[in-house]
Structure 1
């Protein structure tokens, strides 16, 4: 009997401890560290103009990205177009590989004729809107001569862009085993494209900023391939959050979906509201393969637009409190004023404007004359000092606002330098005498 009472007391104590634990500071801290609890293997939200990260979950873990790999294919195409290496009206006739893939009805495709002739523009739209796989391979051949060589370009460009956790193995995002045994040489037959959520956000950011015309195509809800020809077919966009589609979300105008058995439900989205553009990435979202990504993306976009707004912390040509000058060695002036090269605007959590602090990070403690006007001397770092976690910035944990010299400082002539040396000598001598005399007493 006594034993039974002891067991009951232990059970009551355990239940009480668990209840207390649920409301403990540790539990609250965990909730604060994940304010929206995105149900996916990895996710990130970034405000585009500043690179400020608003939310992050396993963002540096390299994971399969499925057809979102086509974003790199699109980047390299738009780059080739800009450089004049490829033209929109340039014609392409499918080889055996591209033709074979285009006939695979288990893959997203626009069927291509073996003797057909297609413009780069047609193939690009099929890739960006309908995620047509054979069209993406065709573009890779147009740009690099072969998909194998194109994969080399993909990885090289990723490095140039500052991506760190990536591996591109084909132009489509399909698993190599789905390429009918004709996967790019030098890649593993069981491999697939893998990139971290952070790097996908970085790629999206570069794509939208350098080639904003991508949104003109990525935002098309539905269109037709080869309209007015015998090959005409509907091309609905797989991005169901676009205007007029079943998961419509105000402001969404891109960017790319992806799904395979291993990658799960993936989506890189971008949306703009009230002067703020955000980029979100979700990898392997839970739920239905074609809708889970939109459910979790909506959760992230709601969080961004409902809890943050753009605020200006510093204006252009403004000095930073406590760090308004830098010393200049051998200059006509011994210091130079420093100012911001542009306004510092970042997304600020509503009601917490005073919790964001900017700090000057100088490249050097002292400059050497001559110093040019607008010469870069440092950058601004911004930190959030509230209760929630500060996720930093997409790159280097600093903003893209530079600190520059406000005016030019010429090199001092020999006479000025000589007088300064003499003055410095006597100043040091006097200080030494004062130190000695003070020591007597």
Structure 2
């Protein structure tokens, strides 16, 4: 009886120990996964490289509300760059835009029918105070009608590499709020995207047109009507959720989308883009954005995980045919810098991937090959842990280039090699035959 009791006690102890481990791990995983966020979806990316360091439901399609205006901003900036419009160009306000600017419960700066406003004034109204009527006025300027502009928005989304999106109007409002004149879609439809696509749009916007931050960072806008309008991005300097380094980018809210925020922040040269989608309150979205930014700055550091001119062990040279030499040294073209979790700098693997178009049927390079010629790439991946990739690429990689020049051998050398190869094959055959006699 005592023996059975001891065995039972041992098994009980082991069972409790194992179960305690299982009970602990999910708590740890949850803490690392959602950071206590209330938002339904979220993401953090490096504002320069596009590296993703955190995501939550980032591929879930959700309403984006006024964050849609980032696409309108992109198209306006592109039109100005291409000389299609200018900042000083005048835009006359029609009755529909005037009426929309006066609609209750919508974010707007009042626009007077028949009056001229500059593109810059309308852009500021859109970027700072999320002016919906100002957005429609700009859409009409670019494409003649909001319907045509929405078509342009969807085309541009595809060209920018977005994968899951649908734009039905320029402003991000629900179509039911557009005074019965919604441009496309159903009467109660809204614009949708994923957090990942929203981050990609923000990434392209601030990198292709960094001047957008000159407007997005305005905390309070003094308009021609003499009024002062506070930016809805309350994380900007002087506003109630002020966060050091925040200089953009866009908020959004509708009943369908909930409350959303795309934030841009820079400290000590390190820029992040954060996105939270479908929060339940105004304050909650900024609280979640704060958590994301705190997590990014406290957990990651930019490190050089692969230096320039790096030679991968086991792949320092590649075979070459028809050259003066039978191999060529290869190396990385430049260094790779990545955001790395604290203490994980050396926890990465490297892999050489040669461009198949550079290889013959036997899998070898063919001379001539010039020094610096791109031959493929070197991929860098973590040895363990989560790897979210990049907003515009699956992996971190750098060009693999020739470290030297290998000229093509002349006809005489190639002929001698062919003859030598022929007699070598003959000799091998004879040797094998003679060996078989004994």
TM-score, normalized by length of structure 1?
A: 0.87
> In the superposition, relative to structure 1, how do residues 412 and 136 fare at CA in structure 2: closer, same or farther (>3 Å)?
farther
Distance 1:209 1:431 in 2: 62
> In the superposition, relative to structure 1, how do residues 118 and 343 fare at CA in structure 2: closer, same or farther (>3 Å)?
same
For residue 8 of structure 1, what is the aligned residue in structure 2?
A: none
Q: CA contact under 8 A between 1:51 and 1:399: conserved in structure 2?
A: no
For residue 270 of structure 1, what is the aligned residue in structure 2?
A: 264
For residue 83 of structure 2, what is the aligned residue in structure 1?
A: 84
Of residues 297-306 and 417-426 in structure 1, the stretch that sits farther from structure 2 once superposed is: 417-426
Pairing 1:86-105 to 2, within 5 Å after superposition:
86-105=85-104
Distance 2:241 2:436 in 1: 81
Q: CA contact under 8 A between 1:275 and 1:310: conserved in structure 2?
A: no
Q: Which consecutive segments of 4 or more residues in structure 1 shift more than 6 A?
A: 16-19, 437-441
Residue in structure 1 matching 2:387, options 383, 387, 390: 390
How far is 1:323 from its partner?
2.6
For residue 7 of structure 1, what is the aligned residue in structure 2?
A: none
Of residues 115-124 and 323-332 in structure 1, the stretch that sits farther from structure 2 once superposed is: 323-332
Q: RMSD of aligned C-alpha atoms?
A: 2.6
> In the superposition, relative to structure 1, how do residues 208 and 193 fare at CA in structure 2: closer, same or farther (>3 Å)?
same
Of residues 269-278 and 35-44 in structure 1, the stretch that sits farther from structure 2 once superposed is: 35-44
> In the superposition, relative to structure 1, how do residues 132 and 25 fare at CA in structure 2: closer, same or farther (>3 Å)?
same
How far is 1:410 from its partner?
4.6
- SS of 1:254's equivalent? strand
Distance 1:440 1:130 in 2: 94
- SS of 2:67's equivalent? helix
Residue in structure 1 matching 2:312, options 302, 320, 323: 320
For residue 338 of structure 2, what is the aligned residue in structure 1?
A: 346
Of residues 336-345 and 113-122 in structure 1, the stretch that sits farther from structure 2 once superposed is: 336-345
> In the superposition, relative to structure 1, how do residues 199 and 408 fare at CA in structure 2: closer, same or farther (>3 Å)?
farther
Pairing 1:19-168 to 2, within 5 Å after superposition:
20=19, 23-24=22-23, 27=26, 30-31=29-30, 34=33, 36-168=35-167
How far is 1:375 from its partner?
3.4
How far is 1:265 from its partner?
1.1
Residue in structure 2 matching 1:193, options 186, 191, 213: 191
> In the superposition, relative to structure 1, how do residues 92 and 353 fare at CA in structure 2: closer, same or farther (>3 Å)?
same
How far is 1:103 from its partner?
1.5
Distance 2:253 2:431 in 1: 77
Pairing 1:248-397 to 2, within 5 Å after superposition:
248-286=242-280, 288=281, 290-364=282-356, 366-386=364-384, 388-397=385-394
For residue 400 of structure 2, what is the aligned residue in structure 1?
A: 403
Distance 1:440 1:305 in 2: 76
Q: Deviations over 1:79-112 (max 9, x none)?
A: 1111111111111002232222111131111111
Distance 1:195 1:438 in 2: 72
Pairing 1:235-246 to 2, within 5 Å after superposition:
235-246=229-240
Distance 1:152 1:420 in 2: 62
| Structure 1, unaligned runs of 5 or more | 1-12
Distance 1:61 1:282 in 2: 12
Distance 1:86 1:346 in 2: 38
Q: CA contact under 8 A between 2:58 and 2:195: conserved in structure 1?
A: yes
Q: Does 1:421 align with 2:414?
A: no
> In the superposition, relative to structure 1, how do residues 101 and 409 fare at CA in structure 2: closer, same or farther (>3 Å)?
farther
- SS of 1:192's equivalent? coil
How far is 1:437 from its partner?
6.3
Distance 1:404 1:337 in 2: 9
Q: Deviations over 1:31-54 (max 9, x none)?
A: 365162422211111112332211
> In the superposition, relative to structure 1, how do residues 132 and 419 fare at CA in structure 2: closer, same or farther (>3 Å)?
farther
> In the superposition, relative to structure 1, how do residues 37 and 174 fare at CA in structure 2: closer, same or farther (>3 Å)?
same
Distance 1:61 1:439 in 2: 69
How far is 1:373 from its partner?
4.4
> In the superposition, relative to structure 1, how do residues 371 and 102 fare at CA in structure 2: closer, same or farther (>3 Å)?
farther
TM-score, normalized by length of structure 2?
A: 0.87
Q: CA contact under 8 A between 2:62 and 2:257: conserved in structure 1?
A: yes
- SS of 1:280's equivalent? strand
- SS of 1:24's equivalent? helix
Distance 2:54 2:343 in 1: 18
Q: Deviations over 1:43-83 (max 9, x none)?
A: 11111233221111111111100100101111111111111
Distance 1:400 1:48 in 2: 17
| Structure 2, unaligned runs of 5 or more | 1-11, 357-362
